[in-house]
Structure 1
Amino acid sequence: MQRTNWLWAAPVLLLWLATPLLAAEVRETLLPNGLRILSKEIHTSPAVTVQVWYGVGSREETSGKTGIAHQLEHLMFKGTRARPVQFGQLYNALGADANAFTSFDQTAYYATAGSDKLDALLQLEADRMTGAVIDGASLKSEKTVVLSELDGKRNNPRSVLNERVLARAFSRHPYHYTPIGERKDVEALGVAEVRDFYRAHYGPNNATLIVVGDFDTDKLLSKVRRYFGTLKPIANLKADRPPIEPTQTGEQRVELRQPGRVPALQVLYHTPAANSPDVAAIDVLDTILTSGRSSRLFKSLIETGLAAAAGGSQSTQIDPGWYSFSITPRKDPDTVLAALDAELARVRTEGVTAEELARAREQVRVSLLLGKDSIEAQANLLGSFQTTYGDYRKLDTYLAQLQRVDSKDIQRVLETYFRPTNRTVGVFIPSEATAAAPSAPEKAESFASGQPVNYDTLSRYLPTLGKSSRIREPRPVEATLPNGIRLQVLTNRSAPTVTVLGRFLAGSAFDPPGRTGTASFVAALLDEGTRTRTGEELARLIEDQGIQLGFQARRENAVFEGAALSEDLDLLLTLSADMLRNPSFPDKELERVRGQFLTGLASALDNPATVAQRTFYSTLYPAGHPFHELVSEESLKAITRAELIAFQQRYYRPQDLILTVVGDVDPEQVIARIKALFGDWRSDTPPGTLEAAAVPPVARREAVVMPGKSEAQVIVGGIGLTRTDPDYYTALVMNDILGGNTLSSRLGVRVRDQLGLTYGIYSRYSPGFLAGPFTISLQTSPTGVEPALAAVGAELERFRTTGPTQAELDRSRRSLIDRFPLTLTDNAGVANLLLEESLYNLGRDYPSTYVRTLENIRPADVRRVAERLLPIKQFTTVVVSPNAAAVAKPAAAAP
């Protein structure tokens, strides 16, 4: 679905992906009508990404007319004169991963699909560049969706604080408003003004077409000329120049008080426009201050217990932008602010060390190379530089500037921009919740079943499709060590990088009773110190080389994933072995992480979506089931160091380790090195077992009131299936048709497009060794809860009764088959596939098995599985709402 991509942090992240070769490898073409084409061939996988970036965002809006660029982005999916259908349905039928975002300076549309779909993707983007239909019906239905999106963001106090800080920091410039706009402006938007905005800003001479992936450039350009070359340019294209923001001369403060659990501190400084050479120095400063355990703020704020989290980012824009610190204080916010000022003063006075500069530069260098195997990341980078900096070639300029940054530059930008008189300080102070007054429910419409997507009609508007791309079957070199460790190593020479993925049967399902959170606690502490290295020493070794390494406890499994340059694989494996085999769980770090977990839990409990999910799990699964008990403040406080050590020794067994390595490596050398590091690891503990208590087949409804929020969160569902269930593939198809994509599924078409009750509605299965849940989730207004539930219930009942049409089934099968190769476009995706094959004994021919199985599914198979897995009269319903009236179960609630 369309979404606003808040690029407040994204530009600096995109900058780190630059490479001195990237700009040189790009071919630039300019058509007579002004369309700029940036193309780059990458033939490592049969996939291609097509993106169109328009030089328009909220920067071109004026007071009273905010949100128009974002509203137009939504309407660009509603159909064209030549294709009067939802474009999300067309992209889904192509098996494409498609979306869009609106930012301050640009609006972008992107789709990634198999390279055989390149022609189709180009036709669709050319069609809606000038042919979009913007009418009253589309605007009316999509406006409610945008308002739901807006209200959903205001469920988060940090988003509200961010919005108010930005509004205070910019008094005249349009950066005063976030791209989603003001509610009153969105409500007042009319068809004529949106249509005029479209005609004024959408056209070839205000767009950049970016194509990266598996194609032949000459053939590509021939297609582009055919589809885009006849489009007329915008007449009298205006280069809008917003009002200049006056220089700030004194510190400004914003205080937000509303219901919540965790305070927040935001400190925003005005910074220069994209083309200033100071941008690179500020980015290096940001890395030194906030990146990793060895960063300045980690030591001065987090290790001291002043804050649970501290980050920062530069938002680089066409006009002067901003740098913003985002801190979760554990002490009084003014005390934390004073500590931040003290650290900035130290750097301003003393500068930074040569070691810090070298580490920052290496982190940049490695980040550049690690991003090279993602075609989407490279296209995003080109689009960002072309639309923000005015020239994609400034990638190389930027990198050269980074390499020249020295300590004096760091001191200079601190003195120039990071002054109290140049900042706006925002503080969120949680207040006591007060019950919201009940509101009258909206007048009920007829929520009978809507019509499914007519794929026979839809097919008339699809470009001609060729045969689906063949799904490759990665065949790694495999070995099993005498201690039971299973190894799989695959060579990929496309970039000098490597990904390491490991798994243990040590997830949260194994948490001891009353000690929920133990598995996550253990995973978080593995890199905080070993018997031979302190946490700080580990961090320095990792960060000095730009290595990425993280540990996470999931529901059933604990995983660790690392990424590095191939030249640093030995160090990555050596440190991973030390952390896994010799963790020391130091008391000081244990208590620091405990504090962070407690703060994180409090923050999660302030999020309606998280509260709904937690309530759903504890309601659906009975006591005694591994998924019933949830992490709590009491359990986190009760967990002892001895219990963490016991859990790690009990469940981190070499017999359960599957270790996958994918990248620019020699398999035999990697296997030999892993044998040397892990081969003598022994464990005589018995294997963990997962036992599921029976789930009673009864309907349940739970309600949670969260005053101070704007939107309600709803989850409906029941028990799903295991990953090895024979019905898994049929359920995959059923879910895709029912709710897998909010723009093309039955639930999305009915609840989002036709009724306008939600920004997004999704259904999903969560299979594992145990049967995870089947869920349908959405956000809606408090008064929209019952209409949405009624519509969902009607759609489920109809699906159980009639099943899919043959056209729906054909579309879904092809879409799922065509999407599969997109998961294999980088090292991490291939590593995950290999792990899944080993974990569930799927076989190395699983990609082919996947295709054959889907091709053999018939409508009757889907109806049978729907009867089994969609017993709606036994489903659990959870409603989290700010309105007590909205969560009360009405007499005729559905389901």
Structure 2
Amino acid sequence: MGIDINLIFGVLSFCATVFAQDKGDNFTKIKELGGIEEYLYEKNGMNVLLLQDNASPVVTVQVVYRVGSKNEVLGSTGATHLLEHLMFKGTPSFNKKNGNSIAEVLLDVGAELNATTWLDRTNYFETIPSDKIGLALEIEADRMRNSLLLKEDKEAEMTVVRNEFERNENDPGALLEKEIWASAYIAHPYHHSTIGWKSDIEGVSVEVLRDFYNKYYWPDNATLTIIGDFKKENVFGLIEKYFGKIRKAPTMLSQLYTEEPEQYGARKIIVRKPGELGIVKRAYKIPGALHQDLPALNVLGKIISSGPSAILNKTFVDTRMGIYTHARPTNFKEAGLFMIGVDFPTTSKHEDVDSKLSEVIEKIQKDGVTQDEVDRVVAEISAESVLRRDGSGVISAELTEAIALGDWTEYVTGVDKLKKVTRADILRVAQKYLVEDQSTTGYFVPKENGSQNNNEIKASKFKSEREPFYYRSKKEIDNTRDSSFITLPKQIDNTLVSDLDDNPFKESGFSYKREKVAGIDLVSVKTSAKDFVTVTGSISFGNYANENKNGVIPSLTAAMLSKGTRMKDKFKWSDELQKLGVNINISASKFKLDIAFKCLKKDLNQVVALFAEELRDPLFDSKEFENLKLQFAGNMQQNLNDPSERGSIALIQAIYPKGNPNYRASIEEDLENVKSATLKEVKDFHNKYFGPASMHLVVVGDIADGSKIKNSLNKSFKNWNGGVIESLKFKEVIKSPSKSQVITIIEKPSAELFVGQYTGLKKSGADYTAFYVANQVLGGGFSGRLMKTVRDKEGLTYNILSGMAGNVNTGGFWVVNASFNPVLFQKGLDATMVQIDKWIKDGITTEELEKKKTSIIGSFKVGMSTTEGISGTILSFIERGMEPDYIEQFLKDIDKVTLQQVNDVIKKYLQLDKMITIKAGSLDKDSTPLK
């Protein structure tokens, strides 16, 4: 069987008008390394990096400006980041008044777009169907010099950025790290965080921002990168067309010359805020990333923190003195910090943890590390450098950081430098840089217990069906959390297509094969990926979620798998994986086990053997089990002070009654469940539910005919039996009248809003597709109505989205989530309800429907350009009992959706008088902001 991915990708594609020509006299080739070609555009001094890969019809266009928060001065800290936001507000050619704002135009063709600001650089990028490359280049050239930077946009966006600042302040670890940087560097501009100080965010004038823009945003201070599907003979003409009219900067760009003065002794800071865990972070000054000592420091950071054999894990986690540990050197251009941290329960004391950290450092400085530790980490990093290069967007992001350092070739040569690191190098850098007088230590001291509403419940963070438009990376959900209830459908469910007269699977270069191997349902897909494969899979837990048993047992069982096998203890097992650069990510909800990993093609047999050993023969050591329970309890306790966690928890409990599979226990109940959980329960769960009966595996990448993976599975999973095949039982939920609830959590500058209700929609239901499209118009990302109004127009929130959530095979629910400053909370709620009311009463328009269809087509094209996108797509189908080629009918089903159907399903499943509203944060019982 063959999947015609090319037709899927190109279902509405057309030939872009390009200027085919040789590079001509205006482009001078500088160098070529690792397949990347560097050119200088002589007209205006802009650097150009090209990496051509025509395997998938997707391209990433990016402009990296060599300006970051280090270029700011007092009074305008955060200017680079605020400009990042404003540069999406438009130009004379692209703006919201014309109905063609930058974000909307790009999202309408399905682009994934973003911009990020950091200490040394700012980047703007879009991963886009390659026939739209001209549009991406036109927009990036236009906003380079023509951004409007209007006062009214600045005033609205200021509150958006302030809300982003406030969201970060909710996180104890992020808050502590910000304070450490401010204390460690007192002269160098790394002193202030990239987002800036709150008073500067609020007070900076648009004139100051405009001056900053006019100083730094020029082609000779920028690097244009184009990665993916393009023709080099055409791309030079496009660059000439769109960037050729932009001149060099009128004045020479100033260079940073401030140096940090010598530090004459250790510094210590203390942050006291509500929380559940203590934190100690130690930071040592180190040089910039291009310094010859950084490779050794990078290897040292991995040795200290990566894997069960890491020094910090053995010292703190295995002894139950700590719950989480980390160590890493920053890799910034000018200077940096080597950061070591421990999160720990209140049974440990800050001073004891601090003292033990000193002992760890002193031992390293005295004894150094072993050659085996060096070899293991270097091998891990070498493999990871290949495995990460999955898609043009990922490559572009990594290249950005090398550009920021001043030498893009670091992207290619960095691993080779790491391979040259010796034991002697690590001993030398430890003795040279991990010096007490050059250190800054921070304590986060929890002021009080955050449990104030004993009736509240536990759930994971809300995630959107389609990831919204973020200016910042999102913090990943911890794998130990049960995320199934509030994780929304994956990328595949964004799929939409029109004009499907042909079978989208025929005559494709992408072929798949589905067969039973060792009892496992295996789907293998050959793609153009080079030297690596991606594996995604799952095992169903049948009706467990409806049996009212201890809800933490599945997650505890999954977490125990990495704690060693009956053949290898956790150190030997994890060390073997680390040498291969592989992380086997296994997590569980009450519904299923999720599996994901990548490995090099050459290591496939070895990785599958380790994976099978982990699944089939876990050690289930009693000491490890007690340590794990402590970690779970600490993670749950942290949620007591998280408005997002507690708000989503309350919403789920308000929608689902006890006994429904989607119902969640309270945090207090889950803590008791962890405390009472026994190793026997975990073993019994593993014996019953783990096996090939309901196991799916999707393997995508460089697998030729699939025989290697088939042979590996047959060898490693031979004679493995078990698992269950059973349907999940549930009772339909009866909607209750509207309800409003406030969850008070003190000293949180950002509060969370949840508005939702039960729909009962199932993925297999006839109305699911129409409702999905309807929701995308309201809150499916930056082009949705909610983002356009509540965020973009009124500037009330950093992020607002809507989606279908819950286990939608049992009857899901619909929800809107946003964050607001407590003072603006009621205004934000009112603005949100205006849009919800209008959407339910009036529905969507024909124009909105057609634009959303076009957007989802392009989004699907981009999403299927990586091995992870393909494997996740196929898995989502086969979990629902379909063949991989259900893509054919699925796309047609969506294409059939009419405006009448969309507007009918909104009214059918949602009623304004049955909305549930949850408010979580620094608000009193009457929703008044706390002082």
- The CA deviation at 1:788 is 2.0
Change (3 A) 1:470 1:124: farther
2:62 to 51, 61, 78: 51
- The CA deviation at 1:189 is 1.0
- The CA deviation at 1:730 is 1.6
2:676 to 623, 638, 641: 638
Change (3 A) 1:532 1:789: same
Q: Does the aligned pair in 2 maintain the 1:264–1:328 contact within 8 Å?
A: yes
Question: Within 5 A, what are the aligned runs for 1:40-79?
Answer: 40-79=51-90
The 2-side partners of 1:401 and 1:329 are apart by 35
1:124-152 alpha-carbon deviations (Å, 9 max, x no partner)? 11111101001111111111111111111
- The CA deviation at 1:173 is 1.1
- The CA deviation at 1:318 is 1.8
1:832-864 alpha-carbon deviations (Å, 9 max, x no partner)? 112112111333333333432333222111101
Q: Does the aligned pair in 2 maintain the 1:658–1:835 contact within 8 Å?
A: yes
- The CA deviation at 1:25 is 0.6
Find the residue that maps to 2:147 and give its secondary structure.
coil
The 2-side partners of 1:710 and 1:41 are apart by 46
The 2-side partners of 1:733 and 1:290 are apart by 44
Find the residue that maps to 1:844 and give its secondary structure.
coil
Say if 2:920 is the partner of 1:880: yes
1:584-606 alpha-carbon deviations (Å, 9 max, x no partner)? 31101101111111111112222
Say if 2:736 is the partner of 1:697: yes
* TM-score relative to the length of structure 1: 0.90
Change (3 A) 1:726 1:326: farther
Give the match for residue 25 of structure 1: 35
Q: Does the aligned pair in 2 maintain the 1:612–1:879 contact within 8 Å?
A: yes
Find the residue that maps to 1:655 and give its secondary structure.
coil
Question: Within 5 A, what are the aligned runs for 1:516-595?
Answer: 516-554=551-589, 556-595=591-630
Say if 2:354 is the partner of 1:337: yes
Question: Within 5 A, what are the aligned runs for 1:422-571?
Answer: 422-432=438-448, 475-481=511-517, 483=519, 485-506=520-541, 510=545, 513=548, 515-554=550-589, 556-571=591-606
The 2-side partners of 1:507 and 1:313 are apart by 41
Change (3 A) 1:512 1:593: farther
Q: Does the aligned pair in 2 maintain the 1:58–1:67 contact within 8 Å?
A: yes
Structure 2 unmatched ranges of 5 or more: 1-30, 453-497
Give the match for residue 5 of structure 1: none
Say if 2:812 is the partner of 1:776: no
Output the amino acid matched with 1:603: Q
Output the amino acid matched with 2:426: I
Say if 2:47 is the partner of 1:36: yes
The 1-side partners of 2:117 and 2:107 are apart by 21
The 1-side partners of 2:74 and 2:754 are apart by 38
Output the amino acid matched with 2:785: R
Find the residue that maps to 2:641 and give its secondary structure.
coil
The 2-side partners of 1:838 and 1:253 are apart by 54
1:633-673 alpha-carbon deviations (Å, 9 max, x no partner)? 11111111111111122222321111222222241232233
- The CA deviation at 1:481 is 4.5
Output the amino acid matched with 1:476: Y
Give the match for residue 833 of structure 2: 793
The 1-side partners of 2:516 and 2:386 are apart by 31
- The CA deviation at 1:568 is 1.3
- The CA deviation at 1:212 is 0.6
The 1-side partners of 2:839 and 2:54 are apart by 41
Find the residue that maps to 1:123 and give its secondary structure.
helix
Greater shift after overlay, 773-782 or 865-874? 865-874
Change (3 A) 1:491 1:245: same
The 1-side partners of 2:588 and 2:56 are apart by 31
Say if 2:692 is the partner of 1:654: yes
Q: Does the aligned pair in 2 maintain the 1:604–1:611 contact within 8 Å?
A: yes
- The CA deviation at 1:298 is 1.3
Change (3 A) 1:814 1:839: same
Change (3 A) 1:616 1:107: same
- The CA deviation at 1:22 is 9.2
- The CA deviation at 1:785 is 2.2
Give the match for residue 304 of structure 1: 319
Q: Does the aligned pair in 2 maintain the 1:248–1:422 contact within 8 Å?
A: yes
- The CA deviation at 1:710 is 0.7
Give the match for residue 226 of structure 1: 241
Find the residue that maps to 1:654 and give its secondary structure.
coil
1:184-225 alpha-carbon deviations (Å, 9 max, x no partner)? 111111111111111111111111111111111221121011
1:359-397 alpha-carbon deviations (Å, 9 max, x no partner)? 011101100110222211211222211222x12123344
Question: Within 5 A, what are the aligned runs for 1:185-204?
Answer: 185-204=200-219
Say if 2:429 is the partner of 1:413: yes
The 1-side partners of 2:236 and 2:504 are apart by 27
- The CA deviation at 1:514 is 5.7
The 2-side partners of 1:688 and 1:269 are apart by 55
The 2-side partners of 1:822 and 1:629 are apart by 35
The 1-side partners of 2:512 and 2:617 are apart by 29
- The CA deviation at 1:695 is 3.5
Structure 1 unmatched ranges of 5 or more: 1-20, 437-465, 890-895
1:549-568 alpha-carbon deviations (Å, 9 max, x no partner)? 12111352211112111111
Question: Within 5 A, what are the aligned runs for 1:862-877?
Answer: 862-877=902-917
Say if 2:123 is the partner of 1:112: no
Say if 2:92 is the partner of 1:102: no
* TM-score relative to the length of structure 2: 0.87
Change (3 A) 1:509 1:155: farther
Say if 2:772 is the partner of 1:751: no
Output the amino acid matched with 1:39: L
Give the match for residue 248 of structure 1: 263
Q: Does the aligned pair in 1 maintain the 2:109–2:857 contact within 8 Å?
A: no
Output the amino acid matched with 1:594: K
Change (3 A) 1:690 1:563: farther
Task: Name the count of aligned residue pairs.
Answer: 837
1:409-455 alpha-carbon deviations (Å, 9 max, x no partner)? 1011111111111110000000126999xxxxxxxxxxxxxxxxxxx
Change (3 A) 1:310 1:475: same
1:604 to 626, 639, 654: 639
- The CA deviation at 1:45 is 1.5
Change (3 A) 1:690 1:221: farther
Output the amino acid matched with 1:773: F
Say if 2:376 is the partner of 1:359: yes
Q: Does the aligned pair in 1 maintain the 2:180–2:442 contact within 8 Å?
A: yes
- The CA deviation at 1:719 is 2.1
Output the amino acid matched with 1:519: P
2:102 to 87, 107, 111: 87
Say if 2:299 is the partner of 1:284: yes
Output the amino acid matched with 1:640: T
- The CA deviation at 1:501 is 1.9
The 1-side partners of 2:167 and 2:379 are apart by 39
Give the match for residue 478 of structure 2: none
Q: Does the aligned pair in 2 maintain the 1:498–1:663 contact within 8 Å?
A: yes
Q: Does the aligned pair in 2 maintain the 1:49–1:376 contact within 8 Å?
A: yes
Change (3 A) 1:394 1:794: closer
2:419 to 399, 403, 415: 403
1:487-543 alpha-carbon deviations (Å, 9 max, x no partner)? 111223421111222211139962853622111111101121222222222112211
Give the match for residue 370 of structure 1: 387
The 2-side partners of 1:538 and 1:435 are apart by 39
Find the residue that maps to 2:810 and give its secondary structure.
coil
Q: Does the aligned pair in 1 maintain the 2:804–2:813 contact within 8 Å?
A: yes
Output the amino acid matched with 1:644: V
Output the amino acid matched with 1:255: I
CA-atom RMSD, angstroms?
2.3
The 2-side partners of 1:188 and 1:59 are apart by 19
Give the match for residue 614 of structure 1: 649
The 1-side partners of 2:424 and 2:546 are apart by 51
Q: Does the aligned pair in 2 maintain the 1:748–1:761 contact within 8 Å?
A: yes
